[in-house]
Structure 1
Amino acid sequence: MRAIQITEFGGPEVLEVSDVPEPAAADGQVLITVDRAGINYADTHQVENSYLSRTVLPLIPGGEVVGRTGDGRRVVALVGSGGYAERAVAHAPYVWEVPEGVSDGQALALVLQGTTAWHLLRTSTHLRSGESVLVHAGAGGVGSLAVQLAKLWGAGRVIAAASTDEKRKQVLELGADAAVDGTPDGLKDRILEANAGKPVDIVLEMVGGPAFDESFAALARFGRLVTFGAASRQAAAPIDASRLMKGSKTIAGFWLADCFREPALLGDPLAELFDLTANGTLRPIVGGEYPLSEAATAHADLRARRTVGKLVLDPTR
């Protein structure tokens, strides 16, 4: 079967189409004919071996797929790796049927990025009605959903950071109350200005480096910052414990993989997100579809911040 298989670590250039053996489902697993595979920013880290978990070569990237099972069910699944292929295998607890009213691209947007946004607001920061929320990469896969969910769940003011005028216009259309340039230089001041001069209660941060530092500096008393990525590939400055004590601030981390031992931590939020999407309340953004043969282009576009919403691969092309 056709798949993207990497045999060395590196950038987008290591992503090449190969002919590989078809996977076989063992007991407790499901074989899926892939209609579309999801692309996540974490995939770019996995390919260059800078991800949180160890990566072993050779590797077929891709942690999520939507497609058909042997008995004809339309499903979305988390597969860990192996998604950039014509067929993939998933463990049964991480396979969910896709309801009518939810497209393939939307299902892929929700299964990983949607559940991440759900947990960032519900589990990690415990959003309360009326609080202000800053969402980094507001036009991205997680960010575009987090903006909508924060408004839906009663945030008083949602501020989205985005890299271009076009993306800032888009996050405003999604419901953000304000949009700011996410460039680190002067970011704290732009955040405060967007929040009527006041620090923000919650920050969803996935850039790292100076953007993390500027965001923490804009955090209110009893504020919560959750970090769930490092897209800049830069480390934030160390924070002395006294800076947390003064202002009673919290820094949390979130990695969706920590939910995998308890499938309900994924399935329950996903069911809620499916319902919200099917009834039109939530609008997952599918920002681009690439042929499998152009996976390298997709990764290059993602790393260069040229994309919005969810990116997907078509394994038939």
Structure 2
Amino acid sequence: MKALLCKQFGPPDTLVVEEMSTPEVGADEVLIDVHAAAVNFPDSLIIENKYQVKPDLPFSPGGELAGVVAATGANVKNVKVGDDVIAFTTYGAFAEQVVTGADRVIPMPKGGDYVTASAFVMTYGTTYHALADRAALAEGETLLVLGASGGVGLAAVELGKALGAYVIAAASTDEKLAVCREHGADDTINYATEDLKTAIKERTDGRGVDVVYDPVGGEHTEAALRGCAWRGRLLVIGFASGDIPNPPLNLALLKGCSIVGVFWGAFVKREPENNASDLKALFKLLGEGKLRPHIAGTYPLARGGEAIAALASRKVSGKLVITPREG
């Protein structure tokens, strides 16, 4: 089988495609023929040894995929050979085949396609956990989404609307904001041309926003925190800007607001039953057409490094997907 390999830590252009032997399947594991694997921000970190998970070299990046079960271990009961599945591997998915634990595999919704399925669960799962669980976003509240044209950003726009919120999308170009409006944003802020704190105040008649969804970090976090309403919640999703901010904590005191961490991967491991319930709700919304994953492009395995670089540059709206079995 072919795999996109990280043989030395470095930028995406150091990745290489090589032939590898088919991995062996343990008693509690599943071998999957990978048809599509979504690119996520952690992929750009793990290949430079900047992620909290640090695999031994060489390894293939890619933590989210859709494909077909090719083999199962003796103890596996939840899936069988031939099943269409979605899996979460942390790394290893940018390959024609991958082995992962059976507990990381779920059936793919019927009628779905591999590309969409590979790009759905991690993005929307993170966001549903953030908005519905960690923020308890209520109908009629105002949600501000930073980095709103990215994969998780667009998921937050759509899920915010599905949960009944008034959604303000913030991004760095008018083109990105146009995509946000197509996915349901009620209002937009271009924080490259507008002062974010002032814009929040203007958009909310001075009240502020109830929830901030922040996958970006950097300079905009403090401005968004200053734009929180009384009892607001700022959700810490990630740091796509590369800068972990240090906002003054007196703002949380003065506004009676909360800074709330969101770590979906740990939630999945610690609370599997609650995650299963979330996924059931998400698949229902997908089936009803209330969620529309935006796939910005697909890349063959040989151009996987390009896909990771494009996502890391923050020039992409929506998700990118690698298709290992296509030339």
Which residue number in structure 2 is paired with residue 200 of structure 1? Answer: 209
| Alpha carbons 1:105, 1:310 under 8 Å: kept | no
| Aligned partner of 2:228 among 219, 222, 229 | 219
Instruction: State the Cα distance separating 1:250 from its structure 2 match.
Output: 0.4
Partner of 1:189: 198
Letter matched to residue 232 of structure 2: G
Match in the other structure for 1:29: 29
C-alpha change, 1:42 and 1:112, in structure 2 (3 Å) is same
Q: Secondary structure at the match of 1:48?
A: coil
2:73 is matched with none
Contact 1:73 1:97 (C-alpha < 8 Å) held by counterparts? yes
Structure 1 unaligned regions, length at least 5: none
> Partner residue of 2:61?
61
Q: Deviations over 1:231-260 (max 9, x none)?
A: 1111213423x3322111100111222123
In structure 1, what is the equivalent of residue 93 of structure 2? 83
Q: In the TM superposition, what whole-angstrom CA distance separates every residue of 1:21-46 from its partner, at most 9, and x where no partner exists?
A: 22122111111000011110111111
Query: What is the match of residue 161 of structure 1?
Result: 170
* Residues in 1 aligned to 2:115 and 2:147: alpha-carbon distance in whole angstroms: 19
Could you tell me which residue of structure 2 aligns to residue 260 of structure 1? 268
Q: Over the residues paired in the alignment, what is the CA RMSD in angstroms? A: 1.6
> Following superposition of structure 1 onto structure 2, how do residues 1-317 of structure 1 map, counting pairs within 5 Å?
1-70=1-70, 71-155=81-165, 157-183=166-192, 186-240=195-249, 242-261=250-269, 262-316=271-325, 317=327
Gaps of 5+ in 2: 71-80
Aligned-pair identity (%): 37
C-alpha contact 1:94 1:263 (8 A) present in aligned 2: no
Q: CA deviation at 1:192?
A: 2.2
Residue 263 of structure 1 deviates from its aligned partner by: 2.8
Task: Tell me whether 195-204 or 225-234 shows the greater mean CA deviation.
Answer: 195-204
Q: In terms of mean alpha carbon deviation, does 288-297 or 99-108 score higher?
A: 99-108
The C-alpha deviation readout for 1:40-76, integer Å capped at 9, x for no partner, is 0111111112223334322210111100013211111
Which amino acid is the alignment partner of residue 189 of structure 1?
T
Does the CA contact (< 8 Å) of 2:222 and 2:247 recur in 1? Answer: no
TM-score, length basis structure 2? 0.91
Q: Which amino acid aligns with 1:227?
A: V
